[in-house]
Amino acid sequence: MNILIVLTSHDTLGSTGRKTGFWLEELAAPYYAFKEAGAKVVLASPAGGQPPLDPKSNEPAFQTELTRRFEADAAAGAQLANTLRLDSVSQDDFDAVFYPGGHGPLWDLAEDADSIALIESFIAANKPVALVCHAPGVLRHVKGPDGAPLVQGKQVTGFTNTEEAAVGLTDIVPFLVEDELKAKGGNYQSIEDWAPYVLVDGLLITGQNPASSAAAADALLRELSGKAA
């Protein structure tokens, strides 16, 4: 079982002068879920090499047992420092793909032609795609095999407008995940802010926020085990 994790290469939070990137919990939780399930995990990003970590995600208030484990894991750190360039990976080599969030993906992966084509190729090959928190926003230009937006008519979730307002970035991000999923015809659903929530609709798995990372990874593994049965 081979699982690709795609991370952002974008490190600038709009015009604020602050840094962003990927959210550590949203990488650490699926990384260990996949590893413990016996999967080979490959990391990729648009620019390759070391992707930027959102510094806020490593503050004490946002650390978890798994983020601390990841930070202390030399092998994981080495793998993170050497992500493959996104344009060098192929769906053919993987059974599934997982996209962690953080605000970074809204700037680069949402507009990245390689990412868009990659997701479309996974869906066309009947392989599951999971995205959590802000990462469902990278689906904004992705189309299904019928040429319609991939999320059209599908049950999806992602970072809510109220969660974005709570972190004070509503007017900073290039678009709001909730609004964009709705605009593309998605049947957007959510529960209370910051609570774990995952939706599975066919091959598409989406999680609402950082707390949904482990559950989204588990849902992806269940989908893969069902395919293997």
Tens of pLDDT along 101-145?
999 999 999 999 999 999 999 999 999 999 999 999 999 999 999
Selection from 228, 159, 207, 223 nearest residue 29 by Cα: 207
What's the pLDDT at 228? 61
Considering the chain, what percentage of its residues have pLDDT values greater than 90? 97
What's the pLDDT at 19? 96
Q: How confident is the model at residue 185 (pLDDT cuts 50, 70, 90)?
A: very high
Cα-based distances in Å from 75 to 41, 68, 80:
12, 14, 9
3-state secondary structure the chain: CEEEEECCCCCECCCCCCECCECHHHHHHHHHHHHHCCCEEEEEECCCECCCECHHHHCHHHCCHHHHHHHHCHHHHHHHHCEEEHHHCCHHHCCEEEECCCCHHHCCHHHCHHHHHHHHHHHHCCCCEEEECCHHHHHCCCECCCCCECCCCCEECCCCHHHHHHCCCCCCCCCCHHHHHHHCCCEECCCCCCCCCEEEECCEEEECCHHHHHHHHHHHHHHHHHHHC
What's the pLDDT at 178? 98
Q: Is CATH 3.30.565.10 the classification given to domain 2-228?
A: no
